[in-house]
Chains A and B, each alone.
Chain A
Amino acid sequence: HSALTQPASVSGSPGQSITISCSGTSSDIGAYNFVSWFQQHPGKAPQLIIFDVSNRPSGLSDRFSGSKSGNTASLTISGLQADDEADYYCSSYTTKKSPIFGTGTKVTVL
């Protein structure tokens, strides 16, 4: 299992929607519905924003949504805001009984 593949960067204007993809294999994303997404601002710890493919932790904005099709998961951020500018990482449980993380995507708000 090497890292899940994400685009290096995605950008959008305030108010727009953007989607970040996370590509895996039949041994991770394709095998389970245990996909999570984390937001990480510079110098800060990762914060959980999506778990079990599409569930949000209590109190988290519904502007963040997740989905999965086959071996690829996606995170959509709608109504893009300046504070959404951060790095985003996907994660999946694997058939090796451990989690694997993505390569990371830098989101820029234009």
Chain B
Amino acid sequence: QVQLVQSGAEVKKPGASVRVSCKASGYTFTNYGISWLRQAPGQGPEWMGWINTYDGNTKYAQNFQGRVTVTTDTSTSTAYMDVSSLRSDDTAVYYCARDVNLAPATLQDYWGRGTLVTVSS
């Protein structure tokens, strides 16, 4: 069955960076993209960015351009998201999700269990 296993919770100080990992199993990793989303307390999900796991092409939401980097290691079927210059309002649960290509749209059909990132001085 499709599984996306994310790394554990992180506590960071303002200005620091964080890396969240997402290890996929149960399907051919390079046949689907990976999206990264976050959900602040009491709010709906917010899409942050996407990577084509086959060729490494990326796309980012305007709000996160320049501060978020998404990469993959196809040898281990793992995706990574780096967020820099963390602020207190970056405190949220961060999710990876498998992306199905429905051109022009994509569909996030399976989600990881989430990684809580807390930014606090």
A positions within 8 Å CB-CB of B: 3, 32, 34, 36, 38, 44-48, 51-52, 57, 89, 91, 93, 96-104
Contacts and interface: CB of A to CB of B under 8 A. Distances in A.
B113 interface: yes
Contacts of B109: 48, 51, 57
Q: Which of A36, A47, A101 has most B Cβ within 10 Å?
A: A101
B102 A45 contact: no
Given A45-B113, A103-B44, 11 more contacts: A34-B102, A38-B45, A45-B112, A47-B111, A96-B62, A97-B104, A98-B47, A98-B59, A100-B47, A101-B44, A103-B43
Contact of B95 (A32, A45, A104): A45
A101 B47 contact: yes
Size range of the interface on B?
A: 20 to 34
Interface of B is mostly: strand
Contact of B108 (A48, A96, A97, A103): A48
Contacts of B107: 34, 36, 48, 51
A44 B39 CA distance: 12
B106 interface: yes
Nearest to B49: A98
A96 B111 CA distance: 23
Contacts of A51: 107, 109
A54 to B, nearest CB: 14
Contacts of A96: 62
A5 to B, nearest CB: 10
A93 B104 CA distance: 9
